Structure 1
């Protein structure tokens, strides 16, 4: 759950209010003085002169907060500082058990109130979970964030709420455990979200997947007692501006034991419910686009299964034939995500796409290289497209670091008995995984996002919180909506 957003003409008397002030403010502007006594104004002015960035004035019956814009070299960094101010503000509101807050923007940054509300709402998010003991259930106190007057337009606030709902959908899907969200349940949840937002979902079952000869998805699924799914999401509004669709592909491994190449536990396996974060991000992005009626034709593909060592599980040394017809030698069953994605990337060719972007919690190598602070990006799309995506990443603070796809890296995935091996060398694992996917992403521009680091956090970190972060939704929404003329 997350607080609702609203636009109001004015804040009621004796309500909890937040005033965003320009950097360098040493005294209260007229619009923030309001009903403050001379002593209260002097207190706040002294705190501002002391360069405090978040000032709290307790009236006992209600609260006033003053947020000072950070001085940063870029607009993206100013925006991120405002989101983080929202996170810090939430800590104060939580102490006071505030249920509704009213935000005024008295700075010269037009979207300051939206950015503060974004950080505040994302921080306030709570996964409802499955607790039955009322004493242990702690519902969030903050239920509504209201933006006052011309601090933001109602349309901008509605668009932000639609985007945040997409992020929350992705977070909820990632945070659900396997016994509550298997491959079929993931597909059904996505379809239900589509019904609510307005996009369509076609769920391909096992017979259809077999008919399409998706050998990668079928192989990974062999050890599971439950069938795989392949979900096709589509948002195609009247008046869509793009002649050819943008296709988003998300890895949907609802739980990854590593298969017969079993992961160690508890260090590696205990959070593997997050291995479908790419698929969740695709669903969240389609939700936000549809909810906000963005005039773009976008298709999402989510191949889904769990990866287990039971039954007829595929084994190291097996050779499988993929949807594209290429053969793959399985060197490690824990390198399973690329097998699902490869089938989906091959399938995407049928749409003659403008661009294909895949998202996956794919490699530990990406985490070791970048930590949780950034996503590894590679691809065959032009430099201009990659630069546009990177710029979008800086704007929403879901930053990207590009790695090369040089020809030499193809040597890392050579096989003696098949077209490809599903495992590279010990070094540059994030690159060899992308090099593998490149063989299946032919005939269209393609970008690969390895979100293994930022998709799931084991400890709370500012407004990204603990658990699923919804990584990719704000990034893709920002990138795609900037394509509008």
Structure 2
């Protein structure tokens, strides 16, 4: 990432600085007004009295930005308001052509990090493939320096590592299939591992066939490109967990729907994002390894595109999965669960303490709760589910738990195989989860359906437009707390 974060004990007298003020502030603290002339102080006081949340003073050689924190129902919502404020502040910084900004917090702990997070996530820009430099509107902001007694160089570096993971996840989701087939995705994983410090092993078609990963091979049948199965492992010295935590990500690099062809426009035209779950896995591993979090974590990504060519999988076909279970394929556009099922069954070999999978899996989840949250469900105990929800609230990547009641198994019964790959029109996200559950025996498991927030078709504050990297910050928060 091009934006650098740093920590300093104090800020220089002549420097563009953002001061975070407590809610309800009407008078500037001396710290925030030392070099302001009286007229400027009076102006700021008048703006604060008028309940302005962002006040700007141009000192010609530098700028002062006053960001007023907001009273919210919970501390987590207060931090989210500061991330949103960071988004608004970024627009002003861009207009003012500010290259370096100091952030000075005059409120309770954590505010500087939240404001910086909102700024940095807003500053993200996909490099893309434009050749005309004039058409690229890059942010001028290059460096954020955080100041305050509630901070440390370690805390700031931790945020930088998280942002690197989110930026990587966004980049991968934004890359088109022409530049990111399954083999190219695996190469991206290898590069990430080399840079961050985790091991990567890529299984090719021959090894996938030898393992009899029937779900992954079936989805790949119609493609001219071979599939890959990538194993990423971060195992630092002094890891606090004896059993690894396994992350599984759906890596469908482009989804036409197969023979159950998707309509276009509005469905197929953004299906480069169908590997959003895979992007979460490598984003989290990048953040963990960069920040040297003492946890043993393994990432598994089955990857392929889903095409209707040649001997493509057909509705009505019966396939045998890696686990040995048979599946009647009623719809080839319900392909993500097929490749995830092979990876979930493969995860058992690691004797994991917990397995979490991420997938842009169902339109049902997106319709149920929109882009505002993530659907999750699983067999993990209530403490794990609670801790995940708490992490989701802390990062504002909020979770809504769906049930996995026994009755939902009836939705995927088949007269000729162990199950079908498609449930009823109702509870589609749950029947997809119920399908995956069949492959998770022997360990605790949580499934995240990120279909709603993983890729946005319109800008949404600091999440931007396109790939959002959703669930990277949530998962990192959860895992770091476990460490």
What TM-score does the superposition give when structure 1 sets the normalisation length? Answer: 0.98
Indicate the residue corresponding to 1:74 in structure 2. Answer: 74
For the pair 1:290 / 2:289, whether they are aligned, the reply is yes
CA RMSD between the two structures: 0.9
Indicate the residue corresponding to 2:24 in structure 1. Answer: 24
Q: Distance in 1 between matches of 2:141 and 2:284?
A: 25
Q: Distance in 2 between matches of 1:257 and 1:420?
A: 23
Shifted more, 133-142 versus 270-279: the winner is: 133-142
Cα-to-partner distance string for 1:264-297 (whole Å, 9 max, x where unaligned): 0011011100000000000000000000000000
Is the partner of 1:55 in helix, strand or coil?
Answer: strand
For the pair 1:14 / 2:14, whether they are aligned, the reply is yes
Cα-to-partner distance string for 1:156-184 (whole Å, 9 max, x where unaligned): 00011011000001000000000101101
Q: Distance in 2 between matches of 1:402 and 1:452?
A: 15
Q: Distance in 1 between matches of 2:151 and 2:82?
A: 15
**1:176-187 equivalence runs, <5 A:** 176-187=175-186
Is the partner of 1:359 in helix, strand or coil?
Answer: strand
Q: Distance in 1 between matches of 2:79 and 2:10?
A: 25
Q: Distance in 1 between matches of 2:375 and 2:311?
A: 34
Q: Distance in 2 between matches of 1:34 and 1:441?
A: 61
Cα-to-partner distance string for 1:402-432 (whole Å, 9 max, x where unaligned): 1111111111101111101000001110000
For the pair 1:396 / 2:410, whether they are aligned, the reply is no
Q: CA deviation at 1:149?
A: 4.5
Q: CA deviation at 1:382?
A: 0.7
Question: What residue ranges of structure 1 are gaps of 5+ in the alignment?
Answer: none
Q: Distance in 2 between matches of 1:251 and 1:97?
A: 40
Q: CA deviation at 1:27?
A: 0.1
What TM-score does the superposition give when structure 2 sets the normalisation length? Answer: 0.99
Q: CA deviation at 1:139?
A: 2.3
For the pair 1:163 / 2:196, whether they are aligned, the reply is no
Indicate the residue corresponding to 1:256 in structure 2. Answer: 255
Indicate the residue corresponding to 2:103 in structure 1. Answer: 103
Task: List, as ranges, runs of 4+ consecutive aligned residues in structure 1 with deviation greater than 3 Å.
Answer: none
Indicate the residue corresponding to 1:51 in structure 2. Answer: 51
Is the partner of 1:288 in helix, strand or coil?
Answer: helix
The answer to whether the 8 A contact 1:18-1:102 is kept is yes
Indicate the residue corresponding to 2:192 in structure 1. Answer: 193
Q: CA deviation at 1:47?
A: 1.1
Q: CA deviation at 1:138?
A: 2.3
Indicate the residue corresponding to 1:245 in structure 2. Answer: 244
The answer to whether the 8 A contact 2:327-2:420 is kept is yes
Is the partner of 1:66 in helix, strand or coil?
Answer: strand
Q: Distance in 2 between matches of 1:140 and 1:38?
A: 33
The answer to whether the 8 A contact 1:2-1:122 is kept is no
Q: Distance in 2 between matches of 1:162 and 1:382?
A: 29
Q: CA deviation at 1:16?
A: 1.2
Equivalences, count? 483
The answer to whether the 8 A contact 2:158-2:291 is kept is yes
The answer to whether the 8 A contact 2:105-2:148 is kept is no
The answer to whether the 8 A contact 1:2-1:121 is kept is no
Shifted more, 295-304 versus 138-147: the winner is: 138-147
Q: Distance in 2 between matches of 1:457 and 1:355?
A: 30
Cα-to-partner distance string for 1:58-103 (whole Å, 9 max, x where unaligned): 2233211101111011111011011111001001111112111111
For the pair 1:224 / 2:215, whether they are aligned, the reply is no
Q: Distance in 1 between matches of 2:206 and 2:100?
A: 51
Q: Distance in 1 between matches of 2:150 and 2:13?
A: 18
Indicate the residue corresponding to 1:301 in structure 2. Answer: 300
Q: CA deviation at 1:11?
A: 2.8
The answer to whether the 8 A contact 1:322-1:328 is kept is yes
Question: What residue ranges of structure 2 are gaps of 5+ in the alignment?
Answer: none
Q: Distance in 1 between matches of 2:299 and 2:162?
A: 17
Q: Distance in 1 between matches of 2:417 and 2:463?
A: 42
Seen in structure 2, the aligned counterparts of structure 1 residues 62 and 151 have a Cα distance that, compared at 3 Å, is farther
The answer to whether the 8 A contact 2:377-2:401 is kept is yes
Q: CA deviation at 1:111?
A: 1.3
Indicate the residue corresponding to 1:379 in structure 2. Answer: 378
